[in-house]
A and B are shown apart, each in its own frame.
Chain A
Amino acid sequence: MKQAEGLTGAAKTLADAGKIKIGVKVDQPGIGYREPGADAPAGFDIEMGRIIAGRLGIDDDGIEWVETVSDNREPFLQNGTVDLVLASYSITDDRRKVVGQAGPYYETGQQLLIRKDSEGDITGPEDLASVKTCSVEGSTSLARVEDEYGASPVPFATYSECVEQLENKTVDAVTTDGAILLGYAAQNPDELVVVGDPFSTERYGVGYNKDAEGMCDFLNETLQASFDDGSWAETFAATLGKSDVETPGTPTLDPCP
């Protein structure tokens, strides 16, 4: 990946500094996951971050991976803790009021992860009102099952804690984006399974600070280039594609505001 010519605005500032701080998740297999003792995380979001940084002429040494959890991504963008967020970060109108979100670079939907022993008993979100559900505090997934399906989910700080409790049989379902759940199912395919049709459309976007001038255009160009030259599909196959899913078609980018 070569540095794009004629960078302007915030993208140029980052390229000139040769450093970028990217907010990612470090506990989501296939998306963003850091093994104990490892320095850098690995996964689909991480690779997409590398592609964007590469476009700025920044290599691995200039990238700082900053761990985010669901409830601190907007504050982190707003106060400059991170320059970009690639952390299974769904595009929503509410979020776009406070931060910028370019993309989507991946489309998924909210599904359920359950134990194989309850397959057939739990088939979709309608069942969540009567079973113990776990999701992450401050996430759209938790708010949706609470508001629309009458569930009273147990809130934990991370999805890995939810999945551990699912394996422990203290909760019966974990709900969030299918992509995230597939990553966990692939880690423990004998016990866990993703069920039901997606009951929402989650479109992962690249978060940036609203004040970063020209950032959206730069991100959209970079993402489109990665769709066109096949590097997006390669990245998918090497990360999320490992959890036994077909590489989907490339999404259509929203125009910049």
Chain B
Amino acid sequence: MAASVLFDQPGPATLRRHRLYTVVTVALVLVVGAWVVWKLNDAGQFESRIWNKLLAANVWREIRQGLTATLIAAAVAIVTAIITGLLLAVGRLSDHRWVSRPCLVFIEFFRAVPLLLLMLFLFSFIGAQFPELERNARAFLAVVVGLTLYNGSVLAEVFRAGIQAVPRGQSEAAYAIGLRKTQVMTMILLPQAVRFMLPAIISQCVVVLKDTSLGFIVTYDELLRSAKTIATYVGSSLMTYVVIAAIYIVLNSLLSALATVVEGSLGRRGKATAAAVEQVEEAAGLQ
């Protein structure tokens, strides 16, 4: 951080002051940490009656079941969301207003609706349309369709930004050698745009993985529902949820690290690519 916008290379007096601040902060963190541990211990959160159960085999079987369901829903949803997003992005860039307009309305609607509201509607709606479906299958559909509609719409904007980030000369040259619109899109624009979009797509995976947890409310048996069952059984919600949070954090950190690696390798290809990647990521917004 030596070359920051905000401060000079610190001199000896400043360094001394910084060291003092550091010591004070570390002390403060230690005090708070100690207080938390004391408080937890006081509430019996470290007692073996809790941890023996929390570390037992049947509990981890339940966690494995829930985690599998979470990962399946996330994986299916991200694939369908990418397909939906591509179709919407291409439709949105169409020259025909009767194609681009509906796509725009679709994208804006599903980006604006709370995902949980959408899932609850889908759960009831799917139940009314397909009465033979079982509870968990129906909940799975509600989760995956909900995630697809929402993330498909978000990704559509990402893809559009990606396609538009390809230099104009590329499509002009393609048209000049006689390619048709579809060919320009599939052979010239998309293959190049994918590079810019990759980090944003991986970041979106984190969003999808987190949002599968809303399946808890529409009764899809994912990780958080397993956690609820376990919390009751173990007798400590706090410790159970902290363990489950750790699982989510590790999974999502791995995904984020992957995004950073991809971004880094793209960044080495030059400033223009890095700028395009950043521009595409902005299209996803802060979710």
Contact = CB atoms under 8 A, between A and B. Distances in A.
B230 A36 contact: yes
Given A35-B233, A37-B62, 4 more contacts: A36-B62, A36-B229, A66-B134, A72-B219
Nearest to A79: B131
A177 interface: no
Interface of A: 21, 27, 34-38, 64, 66-69, 72, 75-76, 78-81, 157, 160-161, 164
Given A80-B131, A164-B232, A164-B237, A36 B58 contact: yes
A68 B128 CA distance: 16
Interface of B: 57-59, 61-62, 65, 124, 127-128, 130-135, 138, 217, 219, 226, 228-233, 237
Contacts of A37: 57-59, 61-62, 65
Contact of B127 (A27, A68, A75, A157): A75
Nearest to A23: B135
Contacts of B128: 75, 79
Nearest to A38: B58
B135 A68 contact: yes
Contacts of A68: 135
Name B's interface SS.
helix
Contacts of A72: 135, 219
A58 B226 CA distance: 29
A113 to B, nearest CB: 15
Contacts of B124: 75
A157 B131 contact: no
A75 B232 CA distance: 27
A183 to B, nearest CB: 13
A80 to B, nearest CB: 4
B62 to A, nearest CB: 4
Contact of A36 (B127, B133, B134, B226): B226
Contacts of A164: 231-232, 237
B134 A79 contact: no
B137 to A, nearest CB: 9
Contacts of B132: 79-81
A72 B123 CA distance: 11
A181 to B, nearest CB: 16
A36 B217 contact: no
Contacts of A80: 131-132
A21 B58 contact: no
A81 B134 contact: yes
B135 A67 contact: yes
29 contacts: A27-B229, A27-B232, A34-B229, A35-B233, A36-B59, A36-B62, A36-B229, A36-B233, A37-B59, A37-B62, A66-B134, A66-B135, A69-B219, A72-B135, A72-B219, A75-B128, A76-B135, A79-B127, A79-B128, A79-B130, A79-B131, A79-B132, A80-B131, A81-B131, A81-B134, A81-B138, A157-B217, A160-B232, A164-B237
